[in-house]
Amino acid sequence: TGTRLKVLIHDGLGIWLCTRTLDDGRFHGLGERLMRHHSAPNPTTGLTISHEQFNALISGLPWHNLGKDILTPLT
DSSP 30-57: --HHHHHHT----TTTS----HHHHHHH
Query: Is 64 a member of any domain?
Result: yes
Radius of gyration of the chain (CA): 13
Segments in the chain below pLDDT 50: 30-39, 68, 70-73, 75
Q: What was the pLDDT predicted at 42?
A: 54
3-class SS of residue 17:
strand
pTM > 0.85: yes or no: no
Is position 75 within any domain? no
Give residue 46's pLDDT.
60
Q: What range does the domain containing 34 cover?
A: 4-70
Q: Is residue 8 part of a domain?
A: yes
Residue 22 resides in a domain: yes
Q: What is the pLDDT of residue 36?
A: 45
Which pLDDT value is given to residue 19?
A: 80
Task: Tally the domains of the chain.
Answer: 1
Q: Which of 25, 23, 27, 20 is nearest to 4 (CA)?
A: 20
In a domain, 57, yes or no: yes
Distance CA 31, CA 27 (A): 9
